[in-house]
Structure 1
Amino acid sequence: MKPLVFLILALAAVNAFEFRTLQTRNVEMPVLDEPTGRITNGEKATVGQFPYQVGLSLKLNLYSSSWCGGSLIGNSWVLTAAHCTDGVQSVTVYLGATERTSAEATYTVSSNNIIIHENWDPTILQNDISLIRIPSVAYSNRIQAVKLPNIADSYHLYTGDVVVASGWGRISDSINSVTEDLQWAVLEVISNTKCAMTYGSKVILPTNICVDTSDGVSTCQGDSGGPLVLVSSGVQVGLTSFGAADGCEKGYPVAFTRLTSYLDWIKSHTGVVYY
């Protein structure tokens, strides 16, 4: 019997360290940690290595805020997870940063500039995707939009493909705060069938994409919403959604929102055209 898993959408807090937690209805699976990163056991990024990486400081109320990742997909649009932006009052967007809050450009926008998927379901973490509208930013060596999949790739599963995840999330299970330096890790996509052996077929749906973390290299709390990009082409295929609550270094698969399932949704709200 699979261990009972709790889906933890962890947003590493900047002010009052706070985690948002969700749990499935008695779904048998391993304990889910927040969307995953030292990325645990990852590498430190160099300046300009991930120009599409975005940092998000999310104001929850007067006294607390949380941290997530995201990706720049156009001059005025940031892509992230719904569980990051659900219920926030405002968000400060950091662009072109390697050191977490030392950015080339910073914008603070209200919740009116956040678009959460209309079918976002926090009980099972489905349709975990949202958009943030920001003032138009100029591209530079440190700020560039990531490529999105072509609509023709909508049925591509990516199983076995090599991908890279990046973010400022926790660098180990023993640390309770996000890291200051951007981290990255190379991972391998696994089949949804294999991923469902851990989390169950009611949780892992075609709109998810999963990676193997059996060597302890994973995303972690604070990496939520961050990009999963194909090493071969630089195309973003996923965004960090959830992992096992037992810990980021335990070797359980990590689940991402599969972007090929949401290309029409992204285009309808942003006008961003796939390459």
Structure 2
Amino acid sequence: MNSVIIRAFLLYSTLYHVASDEVQATPRFTNEDDCGVSVISRSGAISRVVNGTASAQGQWPWQAAIVLSSGGSLSVICGGSVINNKWVVTAAHCFNNEPLSDISVFLGVNDKSNGNEANRQILQLESKTCHPNYTENGNFANDICLLRLTSDVSYTTYIRPICLPNQGSSESVGQSCIVSGWGETENTGNNNILQYAEVSIIDHTLCSGWYQAVGLSIPENHICAGYELGGTDTCQGDSGGPLVCQQTVSGSTSYILQGITSFGSGCAEVRRPGVYTKVSEYIDWIDEVVGSSATSIERHSWALVFLCFQCCFFVIQAVY
């Protein structure tokens, strides 16, 4: 009997470590060395999404298009960001109880009007998890949603994940960051082509004062980015898309997802900068949702099921 117990223990130990290694091989959220890096750039000055600069294909490889199928037609309803090979993050207000089967995630898109564009990947949704405390009561608090894909993203030159910040970290006021999307350009550019812009992080208290003038409040877990005099901004249709800021560590530079396009008052107006969900305030929640996904659970479950069968077999052998 002692030999049976020893064999069972050794088998359990082996299976546990195998299962643990498999789970750890898929990061809960992106902290990979190659996240936030684009190998493609476009020369020339950065302008605006309203009055925007057209992106080169693959310039912002984490950019996702959230596409709704309705009445036989497809439309980009929001942007999003790839955070690992199974998950995309976007804004909660992008959705209005649509069936998951009507929503797709398009990756590697530059010209949304070109259905034959190379380097695209089209993925379906397995699940949608929006923040439980999201509220659209005038200030869009907790405006964040996680989309789990039915199949893995294949990373290419044109499709790569964005880095996430540390929980509770802060961006610097005045820091220049990038927004991107296929939203309204107010006749200043072709919104079929992914547009991008440089915006500046604005002090939260200052921004809140500007918005109070029009009866709006800025949640604590949001940040403002743009310019006091306007002229540069995200607009309708850019919701859910990324606000990314560069950081350099040990000589290596990458982009970090600091914000998710949430709301504003008009587009590119004076003292009405864009307002973005502050991603660093939700890293623990992202970790909880992504870390408790079926991928991790299934691997442990199958290992334990197999272990149970083996243990039963050994016990039967010992008894008979």
Q: Deviations over 1:103-140 (max 9, x none)?
A: 6100233xx61111100101131100001111211100
CA distance in structure 1 between the aligned counterparts of 2:52 and 2:273, rounded to whole angstroms: 16
Aligned equivalent of 2:240, options 217, 222, 225: 225
Aligned pair count reads 228
2:162 alignment partner in structure 1: 146
Q: Deviation at 1:58?
A: 2.7
RMSD over aligned Cα, in angstroms?
A: 2.5
CA distance in structure 1 between the aligned counterparts of 2:269 and 2:207, rounded to whole angstroms: 14
Secondary structure at the aligned position of 1:234 is classed as strand
Q: Deviation at 1:203?
A: 2.1
CA 1:242–1:65: 2 relative to 1, 3 Å = same
Choose between structure 1 and 2 for higher RCO, CA contacts under 8 A separated by at least 6 residues: 1
CA 1:218–1:143: 2 relative to 1, 3 Å = same
Q: Deviations over 1:131-171 (max 9, x none)?
A: 111121110000100000023xx142421111000111111
1:18 alignment partner in structure 2: none
Aligned equivalent of 1:241, options 245, 262, 265: 262
Aligned equivalent of 1:39, options 29, 45, 49: 49
Q: Deviation at 1:62?
A: 8.2
The one-letter amino acid of 2:177's match is: V
1:159 alignment partner in structure 2: 173
Q: Quick one: percent identity of the two aligned structures?
A: 35
The one-letter amino acid of 1:190's match is: I
The one-letter amino acid of 2:53's match is: E
1:113 alignment partner in structure 2: 127
Name structure 2 gaps, 5 residues minimum.
1-46, 248-253, 293-320
Higher helix share: 2
Aligned equivalent of 1:265, options 265, 279, 285: 285
Q: Deviations over 1:194-236 (max 9, x none)?
A: 1101223972122001012324111011100000000344001
Q: Pairwise mapping of residues 1-275 of structure 1 onto structure 2 (< 5 A)? A: 39-59=49-69, 67-89=77-99, 90-100=102-112, 102=117, 104-109=120-125, 113-123=127-137, 124-134=139-149, 135-151=151-167, 154-172=168-186, 179-200=191-212, 203-213=217-227, 214-232=229-247, 233-244=254-265, 247-251=266-270, 252-271=272-291
Q: Deviation at 1:69?
A: 0.3
CA distance in structure 2 between the aligned counterparts of 1:79 and 1:144, rounded to whole angstroms: 14
CA distance in structure 2 between the aligned counterparts of 1:178 and 1:226, rounded to whole angstroms: 17
Secondary structure at the aligned position of 1:231 is classed as strand
CA distance in structure 1 between the aligned counterparts of 2:163 and 2:143, rounded to whole angstroms: 20
CA 1:88–1:198: 2 relative to 1, 3 Å = farther
Q: Deviation at 1:61?
A: 7.9
CA 1:202–1:67: 2 relative to 1, 3 Å = closer
Q: Deviation at 1:99?
A: 1.1
| TM-score computed with the length of structure 1 as normaliser | 0.76
Select the structure of larger CA radius of gyration: 2
CA distance in structure 2 between the aligned counterparts of 1:270 and 1:125, rounded to whole angstroms: 23
CA distance in structure 1 between the aligned counterparts of 2:256 and 2:75, rounded to whole angstroms: 30
- The answer to whether the 8 Å contact 1:38/1:168 transfers is no
CA distance in structure 2 between the aligned counterparts of 1:98 and 1:64, rounded to whole angstroms: 16
CA distance in structure 2 between the aligned counterparts of 1:66 and 1:75, rounded to whole angstroms: 21
- The answer to whether the 8 Å contact 2:85/2:152 transfers is yes
CA distance in structure 1 between the aligned counterparts of 2:66 and 2:74, rounded to whole angstroms: 14
CA 1:73–1:155: 2 relative to 1, 3 Å = closer
Secondary structure at the aligned position of 1:211 is classed as strand
| TM-score computed with the length of structure 2 as normaliser | 0.66
The one-letter amino acid of 1:58's match is: L
- The answer to whether the 8 Å contact 1:60/1:87 transfers is no
CA distance in structure 1 between the aligned counterparts of 2:282 and 2:216, rounded to whole angstroms: 19
Name structure 1 gaps, 5 residues minimum.
1-36
